[in-house]
Amino acid sequence: MDAYLIDAVRTPVGRRGGGLASVHPADLAGHVITAVLERTGVDPAAVDDVVLGCVDTLGPQAGDIARTAWLAAGLPEEVPGVTVDRQCGSSQQALHFAAQAVASGTADLVVAGGVQNMSAVPIGAAMTVGEQFGFRTPFSGSVGWEKRYGGEEISQFRAAELIAHRWNLSRLDMEAYALRSHQRALAAIDGGMFEREIVPLGECVVDEGPRRDTSAARMARLTPLTEGGRVTAATASQISDGASAVLVASGRAVREHGLTPRARVHHLSARGADPVVMLTAPIPATRYALAKAALRIEEIDLFEINEAFASVVLAWLAETGADPERVNVNGGAIALGHPLGATGTKLCATLLNALEQRGGRYGLQVMCEGGGQANVTILERL
């Protein structure tokens, strides 16, 4: 059985402290859920489940934000919701769970998506709050973890540096990539490439992250994130706020509700790699997905790989041989931002629209994730 994408929407991505900073996460998510239902004309009562990704589920993001967001939007109480945490890939995993439910026949209509207000709940808050209970890190005190990995520092910043050194990526290499991300994002905004996927919220009507005044010279003046390192804030994803949602439907739901699918989920999978280097899993995950889908990398028309750091994408490009002109064609998280739990289905919306705009058939989306993991989704445009 197939799983179809009927529509995909997202808020503009707000900068830290920007246009979405004061919006409660339940209202952020409720906004995109309502929008995708209204745009597709689906009766909310016909939805079988709501699956949302979210990281750092504290405070306004606690208590199963998927359920809270649905109810805060005024939608039927009989529809349940569940929140997923696969770190940066949380909403891509939400999409996978939705597609698996639909393809298995256990559901016909599922809203998948994600939300994150990083202005309200700082990145890593769920880890640092544990310090008050005597847990310095999520791993300290685990006999099994320490036996396997010792006292290795587990940090995305260290991981980005390790990748830069392992693949011999210079600071200039990474800054050149980051500048191109901003240039592509600004060209996409100016060309209206995001208009179909964005549902404005209040005065936030366009992505706030891309910097028109950025330059190689400006980037060169920044201090590395670690002493003596190569990675700077300019070559890392931005702290952001936002939400995104996708409506996933079975063939039966398509017929019964008179829906017009925009794409089919051709393949979905997740793989793991070294949790210390952490951010390299997209490389084996991409190879695995292509083999399972019986596709060559040359057959993929467009790629979206999350720009957690420039080093992640550059190492992936070097190992996979993907054409850089097909990768993140409208910019990525370095320019557009990375609202953790929302980014997966945000990238899905962007990939879907880019495939339609360019007449492509297959699109592949992959993200690095905490714990040394990666989700891969291959879409077939219809």
pLDDT digits (tens, 9 = 90+) for 70-126: 999 999 999 999 999 999 999 999 999 999 999 999 999 999 999 999 999 999 999
**Can you give the pTM of this predicted structure?**
0.97
DSSP percent split of the chain into helix, strand, coil, nearest 5? 40, 20, 40
Could you read off the pLDDT of 121-172 as tens digits, one per residue? Answer: 999 999 889 899 999 899 989 999 999 999 999 999 999 999 999 999 999 9
Position 250 pLDDT exceeds 90: yes
The C-alpha atoms of residue 67 and residue 52 are separated, in whole angstroms, by 9
What is the pLDDT averaged over residues 43-59? 97
Residue 336, C-beta contacts closer than 8 angstroms, at least 6 positions apart: 13, 181, 185, 207, 209, 210, 238
Rg (CA), the chain: 20
What is the pLDDT averaged over residues 36-60? 97
The C-alpha atoms of residue 298 and residue 159 are separated, in whole angstroms, by 29
Find tokens 């994730």 and name the residue.
Answer: 369
Q: What's residue 299's pLDDT? A: 98
What is the token pair recorded at 359? Answer: 């007449």
Strand boundaries in the chain, DSSP class E: 4-10, 14-15, 49-53, 81-84, 109-117, 240-249, 263-272, 302-305, 362-369, 373-381
Which residues are part of the catalytic machinery? 88, 338, 368
DSSP 233: G
Q: What percent of the chain has pLDDT over 70?
A: 100
Question: Mean pLDDT of all residues in the chain?
Answer: 97
Amino acid code (one letter) for 142: S
The C-alpha atoms of residue 208 and residue 200 are separated, in whole angstroms, by 12
Contact 155/277 with Cβ under 8 angstroms? no
Position 55 pLDDT exceeds 90: yes
Position 227 pLDDT exceeds 90: no
What is the pLDDT averaged over residues 240-248? 98
